[in-house]
Amino acid sequence: ALTGSPVTLKILQNWVPRVSHYFDKEHYTYVGHQIVIQESIEHFGAVVWPGALALSQYLESNQEQFNLKDKKVLEIGAGTGLLSIVACILGAHVTATDLPEVLENLSYNISRNTQNMTMHKPEVRKLVWGEGLNEDFPVSTYHYDFILATDVVYHHTALDPLLATMVYFCKPGTVLLWANKFRFSTDYEFLEKFSNIFNTTILAEFPESNVKLLKATVREN
């Protein structure tokens, strides 16, 4: 079941318009830092989607409620890396993951925006939802305080592996923060399955962008 009385928010125009020779670079400002993101047109995961902006903004504004300092944070479907960069700036040990074809651009964005200015060096790793989790991220070694996921649900067939991946990493004590645009019936069907598995609270809604931000924790029997 879904609980919570969400706050209604607006995604702020946190990017800085500037005359740039590079049409493919976006400039953002979060937590007092300018972040430059290179997007790529070839891949879905290489564009900054609204959920990433929504959750970056929320983490920046709610640092007391969600204190990421020295916490272990895993982002699944990290895309261009904006949210992982924000989590690094907020002091987290970040592991940003995505599909192999996205990793080069992801690594580039993360390293250029966190070099010499974050306490913990972020890690970028391949993670294909539902595949090789036990081998690549054995439970005995990997425990995360926070799982971040934004815009991971859209028209694609990998929804069951996605849910299985969320279940795998969301252990007792882990907080999963998921922001997504809700447009299609499949999005709501996924939300229903999700909220049947986890204790789920709606933290915020961004009606202009159709984005909902949800917090989930594992049900402890």
What residues form DSSP beta bridges with 7?
204
Token pair, residue 49, equals 């989607």
* pLDDT tens sequence across 72-124: 999 999 999 999 999 999 999 999 999 999 999 999 999 999 998 778 999 99
Chain-centre distance for alpha carbon 160: 18
Predicted confidence (pLDDT) at residue 44 exceeds the cutoff of 80: no
Q: What pLDDT shows up at residue 24?
A: 59
Token pair, residue 37, equals 């993101």
Element (H, E) at 187: helix 185-197
Distance separating alpha carbons of residues 131 and 143, to the nearest angstrom: 18
Position 3 confidence tier, pLDDT thresholds 50, 70, 90 = confident
Predicted confidence (pLDDT) at residue 18 exceeds the cutoff of 60: no
Cβ neighbours of residue 14 closer than 8 Å, sequence gap 6 or more: 28, 29, 30, 53, 56, 57
- pTM of the entire structure? 0.90
Q: What pLDDT shows up at residue 22?
A: 47
Q: Report H helices in 80-184.
A: 82-89, 103-114, 133-136, 159-169
Return the residue matching tokens 């595949």. 131
- CB of 113 within 8 A of CB of 35? yes
Instruction: Give the chain's domains with CATH numbers.
Output: 44-218 (3.40.50.150)
